[in-house]
Structure 1
């Protein structure tokens, strides 16, 4: 006769079988979610590239800008043939997508250089500006948001909320001009523009930091306020932990996920949209290059800059998803 199996052993076997069946299911769900997000990112990138192509063709005929108003129609037609603008629009679009896939972003009509070379030459200046701006935004915005959350309802909270609202409302170009008038013209403390030293970076970096600083402060306050109401925070207080340990070692760790998300996304937005700041301070970055390309109707260069910005923004979105899965085990 076979001995009867005990109930604990049966429960252990059942639990083991359940875990073994759930593990592949969870793994498959995670892979399917990752593939779906990657597909959505590719569709978003394709839409952005298509819009860039359409806007480049709607900007006007670049031959008039290149040859000048005194050029004849025959000269313009010859240049259109040389640039490939005489071909059907669909053929131009397919060649444009094919060049992006192979890494060929074309050549500039204004500088007579490959667009990739021009972008890589200006990229370090924009990265320097964006990095300094985001560093200021995080160093000021995070403590400001934490202070507002821990002193909710007090004048500290109202003051930080007012500063955050002001940072989101002030136009960047107006702030840049006011800072130039104050610190460069009136006080003579800092350079008015250009690049070259740390002093040249102070004003444009602070101007760049104000808008993301307001976002970081408001989101940090909201996330911290929600976490500080959790039951485990009351348990930490009951165990006699100090306020600093509760706020920074317990609450802020759980509130850091949305803050990290907004920091990465704001960095991508600044990287692809630093036109106004670079124009005000004559900063030789991608924004200044984009303005020069637009004024010259250099649509291959404009398209290349838009493509670069779109690729960076989509990759940063994917990076945020990966960070979420690494930080929060529930998402895995």
Structure 2
């Protein structure tokens, strides 16, 4: 009995029969792709449902005094008189063929309008994330290497404030201080690098807090590992121990949160773009919602969902490249 059990049980650390490492990687990649496509499908369905629940767009197009026959003619022209299921399948067909429809407000293809606004949002996201990384990572490392001191408490307080302060309030306060009182920077719009300073600073606050807190937690865990004690015992300098050994092992969660926060900022910069009148994707989404331009709202949501799914795939690729345990 014992011998048969021993022969049928695979040795520890070796893959079971029929499950090679390559097959395991393929199974994991397939499961991840299925999850991502399911998330994308749910987001597309929610975009369609919310667009239809936002109200009748003919009121904004024709005005409240339009005759019922005019409204009905416009509904037929827009295809809103067809069964909801037919509209849904037409919508999915357009998404997968790259046709996101035309705007009811601007009378232009939604895809063209989105790609016209994306460069402005990318400038804002790039500037905000650069500031968030340059401030958040050193802040988290400083707090982890001086755990329990006033440096740690000060860094934790800054991170907590970054997650608590509303970005629209911060944006208005920065405008009052640097644009109205001091006159150093423009209050809004775009065009020069000076116009980017205040919006990027406002956008950097929330991801900076997340990056600082996660960096501190990851660094604290890495600094408590036995290999750090071994490195110190060999006489390696403190700076090299922190940045070459500990930070390298704490880098994976930080990279993950940076990529995911980039996706969140790319699709959620509405408040900041509104405060600073920044002509980006968030400003366009706000105008579409106010006008009940549901094809444009749906197109923006589809774009944001696709970007977020792609960034999740990038995170998986980074995990596979950086972390040998995943490989």
The TM-score with structure 1 as length reference comes to 0.93
Q: Secondary structure at the match of 1:104?
A: coil
Q: Match for residue 129 of structure 1?
A: 124
Query: Is the counterpart of residue 212 in structure 1 residue 207 in structure 2?
Result: yes
- Structure 1 runs (4+) deviating above 4 angstroms are 18-24
Query: Is the counterpart of residue 34 in structure 1 residue 29 in structure 2?
Result: yes
Q: Match for residue 286 of structure 2?
A: 291
Shift of 1:242: 0.5
- The answer to whether the 8 A contact 2:288-2:297 is kept is yes
- Partner Cα separation in structure 1 for residue 238 and residue 281 of structure 2: 45
- Partner Cα separation in structure 2 for residue 175 and residue 102 of structure 1: 41
Q: Match for residue 99 of structure 2?
A: 104
- The answer to whether the 8 A contact 2:15-2:21 is kept is no
Match of 1:302 among 297, 302, 318: 297
Query: Is the counterpart of residue 229 in structure 1 residue 235 in structure 2?
Result: no
Shift of 1:70: 2.1
Q: Secondary structure at the match of 1:175?
A: helix
Count of matched residue positions in the alignment of Structure 1 and Structure 2: 316
The TM-score with structure 2 as length reference comes to 0.95
Bigger-Rg structure (1/2): 1
Q: Match for residue 264 of structure 1?
A: 259
Instruction: Output the aligned Cα RMSD.
Output: 1.4
Q: Secondary structure at the match of 1:86?
A: coil
**Aligned pairs (5 A) from 1:185-200:** 185-200=180-195
Shift of 1:329: 1.3
- Partner Cα separation in structure 1 for residue 17 and residue 216 of structure 2: 37
- Partner Cα separation in structure 2 for residue 177 and residue 307 of structure 1: 30
- Partner Cα separation in structure 2 for residue 75 and residue 159 of structure 1: 63
- Partner Cα separation in structure 2 for residue 52 and residue 279 of structure 1: 22
Q: Secondary structure at the match of 1:236?
A: helix
Cα distance change on mapping 1:20 and 1:262 into 2, 3 Å: closer
Query: Is the counterpart of residue 93 in structure 1 residue 88 in structure 2?
Result: yes
- Partner Cα separation in structure 2 for residue 139 and residue 163 of structure 1: 14
- Partner Cα separation in structure 2 for residue 22 and residue 184 of structure 1: 68
- The answer to whether the 8 A contact 2:186-2:194 is kept is yes
Query: Is the counterpart of residue 49 in structure 1 residue 44 in structure 2?
Result: yes
Shift of 1:19: 7.5
Match of 2:162 among 161, 167, 173: 167
Structure 1 regions of 5+ residues with no counterpart? Answer: 1-14
Match of 2:246 among 251, 271, 275: 251
Query: Is the counterpart of residue 176 in structure 1 residue 171 in structure 2?
Result: yes
Q: Secondary structure at the match of 2:325?
A: helix
- Listed one character per residue, the Cα deviations across residues 87-110 of structure 1 (whole Å, up to 9, x for unaligned) are 000000000000000011000000
Q: Secondary structure at the match of 2:188?
A: coil
